[in-house]
A and B are shown apart, each in its own frame.
Chain A
Amino acid sequence: MHGIEREEHARQLHARLLQLDPVAPAEFAEAFLDELVRRLRAKAGPGYEETLFHDAATDALIDYIQHPSKFNPRKSALLTYLTMAAYRDLLNIIAKEQRRRRHEVPLQDVEETLIAGNNIIEPEDQVLNGITMTERAELLRMVAETFPDSCDRAFLELMVNGERRTTIFSDVLGIQSSPPDEQRKIVKRHKDRITKRLQRLRGKIHGK
């Protein structure tokens, strides 16, 4: 199927999804899931495990099928929108995996820590270990409330994980085609906005 033909087919299926046609989700997945994986692979570049592409593309497609009205046809082509959503999911999955790995302590490190008399504790771990499950749940709720937009949350995760490359932030915002100077400005603006919200959140937590 050629590009224009493919987009037309996607548009027709989108209309059927909006009309609650029960077969449309299955047809959409059959027609576009592998194309979405292909596009995601091309966008992300080499160095990722294949299962990550499958998970991210499937998650994005399932979310879209359940909420087709989130897509605005006037803003972009459907497959471009889905590729961006899948790419965001991919970044989220990677960030989650990085977080999980950071908390996995290799056996050798555990031994060294024990020898040092448990004195080597990261400050953030010290804070995290000191709070109860209820406090954790409350904190996560407050973060979700402060950053209701999934794009903002992906952006925040990258910041928390120490990402510094503008191109990665640009990908999340979907502004990779803008000139580099423009990208830097937009990314900075977003970082400032998110930092301000974080500061307000911090104030709320301390005020409690």
Chain B
Amino acid sequence: MESNETTFLLQHAAKKVAQNRFFLAGYLNEFKIIRGITEEELAQFLGCSPGLLPKLALCRRPDPVSPRFRADVERIAVAFDIRPEHLARLMREVDALTALKDTRPKKQEVPDGLLAAARDDEDSHSAHRDTNEPSEDVRGKP
């Protein structure tokens, strides 16, 4: 059983790595923000007690593009007695939203007129892409 000191230090460490993508902490944190939920609700989603969250946060983050991803998620799920499908869903949801944030243009930094012009330009580019893509495919074939 964990002592009070250990519990406190695990919480301290989990807070320190909250933005560190090496650890699961970053995902747990992001997921709470995305869903607007509390620690208790996060624990409920994963099917564990809130007291386990700091230790869970210190697990190594399974790499979604690695062939080990499934095994790693299952390994964590077994160790913490949580639902593996929920952990995987949590990670995918965070990844999807992060990817969306990264690709979204930074609208607020551009004046309206320029933005409209850029949008027109972007539309015409994407139209070109749509028409070009098949022909590129065709060109690629022998």
Contact = CB atoms under 8 A, between A and B. Distances in A.
B76 A58 contact: no
Contacts of A26: 55-59, 79
Interface string A20-45: 11111110011001100100000000
A140 interface: no
Q: Which of A21, A22, A33, A66 has the most CB of B within 10 A?
A: A22
A30 B59 contact: no
Contact of A29 (B5, B58, B75, B76): B58
B42 to A, nearest CB: 16
Interface residues of B, number: 27
Contacts of A22: 24, 59-62, 72, 75-76
B10 A29 contact: yes
B9 A20 contact: no
Contact of B9 (A21, A24, A54): A54
A61 interface: yes
B103 to A, nearest CB: 28
Given A23-B79, A26-B56, 17 more contacts: A21-B75, A22-B59, A22-B75, A23-B60, A24-B60, A25-B59, A26-B57, A30-B6, A30-B55, A33-B13, A37-B5, A37-B9, A54-B12, A58-B12, A59-B16, A62-B13, A62-B20
